[in-house]
Amino acid sequence: MHYDAPNGFYTDDFMFDVMGIKGLPTALYQYTSIESLGKILASRTLRFSRLDTVNDPEEAMASDVPLAASSVFVSCWSSTPYEQIPMWSVYGHNFGGVRIRLSANMFAGRGEPIVFEKGGALLTVEGWYEIPRKSPAMGTRGCSVIGPNKVYYSDDLAYRNRSLVYREAGTAHFYPYDLGMVKGTHWSYEEEWRFKIAALAFEAQFQDDEYFNRVTLDLAAYP
């Protein structure tokens, strides 16, 4: 069935024409503590943080889904190859941590990211991840990661508090590409790129019924 998707701003044209992105980075950097580095090396995994726990409390709001940020998980990196004092202060365990460098296709299988028309880059991971939810809400299982995509820095409120659900003829379409992709300009020094996974699959379609509206979208009662 054809439907007119909501006007999400984070598209390939927006990346290239507005943000001025010439291509995806080949390497990414992260400031962290020695303890966190030890866990990464021991487990050979990366932690994705829930979006409502990151450093900007004003980001990742939705006009139609309360607590939407709690359904998205991100891994945050910088593309800047040179060291930055503010990053050491904020993320480098008060100058006592480490800065790690990884290939931008850092996940198992080394899949190359592909930039799509909607939502930016996406890559496929060799293996599966699971995001459980409290029953009777259903969790998600996937092998694709959105990213790496550069955060857009703007103080324009039009880019925030956007709709995530589009309804058409009894079907609800979930469209969260823009969620977590905008931060205020005072964060622009970070030059941040993000990977994202979500508890609700991107562009998933649901029957627009009581279960969807009272269970699937109720992230407070069924986290």
**Number of C-alpha atoms within 13 angstroms, CB side, residue 172?**
19
Cα(134)–Cα(140) distance, integer angstroms = 12
Residue in 162, 164, 151 with CA at minimum distance from that of residue 56: 151
Compute the mean pLDDT over every residue in the chain, rounded to the nearest whole number.
88
Q: What is the pLDDT of residues 120-142, one digit of tens each?
A: 999 999 989 999 999 999 998 98
pLDDT score of 196 more than 90:
yes
| Residue 134 three-state SS | coil
Of all residues in the chain, the percent with pLDDT exceeding 90 is 46
Would you say 68 and 60 are in contact if contact means Cβ atoms under 8 Å apart?
A: yes
**Predicted pLDDT of residue 203:** 79
- Domain limits of the chain? 12-216
Work out the pLDDT band at 200, boundaries 50, 70, 90.
confident
Residue in 89, 109, 88, 90 with CA at minimum distance from that of residue 99: 88
pTM of the predicted model as reported, rounded to 2 decimal places: 0.88
| Amino acid present at 115 | V
Cα(50)–Cα(30) distance, integer angstroms = 17
Q: What is the pLDDT of residues 5-62, one digit of tens each?
A: 556 889 999 999 999 999 999 999 999 888 888 888 898 888 899 998 887 767 778 8
Burial class (CB within 10 angstroms; exposed 0-12, middle 13-18, buried 19+) of 37: middle
State mean pLDDT over 163-188. Answer: 89
